[in-house]
């Protein structure tokens, strides 16, 4: 987005003092500015981030293949799953389950719990947390519960759709490329024109 006339290039939390630091495209910025979020980009991230949660859970439920890593890219998003190969039918079943959860428009809630509380919950993946720290959870009603600090929609229907676009073997894992929402529609439009 923007802070006044300056474009925001990056945002991070400084480890030393917990300050939120905005990296701008110019150095001379007034002390008081109006901030504007680049909503199109943020909504794209919201769709893909929550879409990844759903797709990761679907891979576990259908083929018992947990996600080992996630990448949110400009052109495509990927998850690396703990599997060496999948049939086309298995991928279709994973995608079908993921899109069913999207179409059911389930609530997506975020809340914080202590590490002790988190250890009693059916969390898909719990990162290393120090005792006494709070864990932020994302709960896709009756489907997936995981620790996450990212942006998410209020309901799964806002994701639009989830489409697996490619599988690629990476050593002992499979890299799954996928698109959600507006990017998936643009990809479909492009492929339809090519065909």
pLDDT, tens only, 63-75 = 999 999 999 988 8
Higher pLDDT, 108 or 40: 108
Q: pLDDT tens digits, residue range 73-121?
A: 888 899 999 999 999 999 999 999 999 999 999 999 999 999 889 889 9
Q: What is the pTM of this model?
A: 0.86
Q: Give the residue-averaged pLDDT of 143-165.
A: 95
Give yes or no for a contact between 149 and 136, defined as CB atoms under 8 angstroms apart.
yes
| Range scoring the smallest mean pLDDT among 52-66, 85-99, 178-192 | 178-192
Gap between the Cα atoms of 51 and 164, Å rounded: 11
The candidate with the shortest Cα–Cα distance to 54, out of 84, 96, 88, 87, is 96
Gap between the Cα atoms of 160 and 44, Å rounded: 11
Tell me which DSSP letter residue 107 carries: B
Beta strands in the chain (DSSP E): 2-3, 6-13, 20-24, 35-36, 67-72, 77-81, 108-114, 134-140, 144-147, 162-170, 173-180
Higher pLDDT, 15 or 99: 99
133-159 core/surface letters (b: 16 or more CB in 10 A; e: else): eebebbbbeebbbbbbebebbebbebb
Higher pLDDT, 27 or 143: 143
Three-class DSSP category at 33? coil
Tokens of 158: 């806002």
Place of tokens 């802070």: 3
Tokens of 175: 């890299």
Backbone angles phi, psi at 141, to 5 degrees: -45, 125
Per-residue pLDDT at 138: 96
Higher pLDDT, 28 or 49: 49
Per-residue pLDDT at 116: 85
Gap between the Cα atoms of 69 and 147, Å rounded: 14
List the strands of the sheet with 20-24, edge to edge. Answer: 20-24, 6-13, 2-3, 35-36
Q: Is the pLDDT of residue 27 over 90?
A: no
Report the range out of 5-9, 57-61, 183-187 with the highest average pLDDT: 57-61
Three-class DSSP category at 175? strand
- If you compute the radius of gyration of the chain from its CA atoms, what whole number of angstroms results? 19
% of the chain surpassing 70 pLDDT: 100
Provide the pLDDT confidence category of residue 5 given band limits of 50, 70 and 90.
confident
Per-residue pLDDT at 125: 83
The candidate with the shortest Cα–Cα distance to 155, out of 104, 108, 88, is 108
Q: Is the pLDDT of residue 158 over 90?
A: yes
Per-residue pLDDT at 12: 83
């Amino acid at each position: 987005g923007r802070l006044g006339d300056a474009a925001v290039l990056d945002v991070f939390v400084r480890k030393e003092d917990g300050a939120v630091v905005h990296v701008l495209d110019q150095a001379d910025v007034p002390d008081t500015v109006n901030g504007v979020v680049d909503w199109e980009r943020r909504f794209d991230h919201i769709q893909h981030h929550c879409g990844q949660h759903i797709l990761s859970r679907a891979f576990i439920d259908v083929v018992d293949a947990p996600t080992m890593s996630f990448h949110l890219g400009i052109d495509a998003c990927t998850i690396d799953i703990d599997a060496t190969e999948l049939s086309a039918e298995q991928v279709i079943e994973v995608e079908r389950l993921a899109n069913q959860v999207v179409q059911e428009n389930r609530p997506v809630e975020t809340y914080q719990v202590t590490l002790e509380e988190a250890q009693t919950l059916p969390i898909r993946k719990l990162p290393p947390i120090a005792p006494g720290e709070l864990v932020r959870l994302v709960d896709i009603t009756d489907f997936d519960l995981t620790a996450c600090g990212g942006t998410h929609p209020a309901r799964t229907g806002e994701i639009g759709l989830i489409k697996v676009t490619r599988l690629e073997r990476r050593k002992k894992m499979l890299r799954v490329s996928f698109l959600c929402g507006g990017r998936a529609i643009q990809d479909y439009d492009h492929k339809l024109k090519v065909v």
